[in-house]
Amino acid sequence: MSDIKNGGPAFPVPGLVLPSGDSIWPEQGMTLHDWYVGQALVGVLANSSGHYGRDVADARMYADLVMKAREAKP
């Protein structure tokens, strides 16, 4: 299991909160990590090796690196 945090929702959609404080549905949206995977995949596939399984793995690797860099303190 990965130790990379998912970054929370990339494009959150707030849930509806009733006056009682109950939420009808929680925040929804893809995670920031998923967003980075998709963005990296576009670049990787633009220069594809033709080995799509490897290309997807590369995209995840790049996204993981971005998430780790976000956690690093300057």
Is the overall model pTM greater than 0.85, yes or no? Answer: no
For residues 10 and 20, the model is more confident at: 20
Going from N- to C-terminal start, the domains of the chain cover 32-71
Residue 2 CA: distances (Å) to CA of 21, 26, 33, 53:
34, 24, 12, 19
The two tokens of residue 36 are: 């980075």
| Interval 66-71 mean pLDDT | 89
Q: Is the pLDDT of residue 7 over 60?
A: yes
Tell me the per-residue pLDDT of 23-52, one tens digit each, with 9 for 90 and over.
Answer: 776 666 788 999 999 999 898 888 877 778
Q: Is the pLDDT of residue 1 over 50?
A: no
Tell me the per-residue pLDDT of 49-63, one tens digit each, with 9 for 90 and over.
Answer: 777 888 888 899 999
The two tokens of residue 26 are: 């929680």
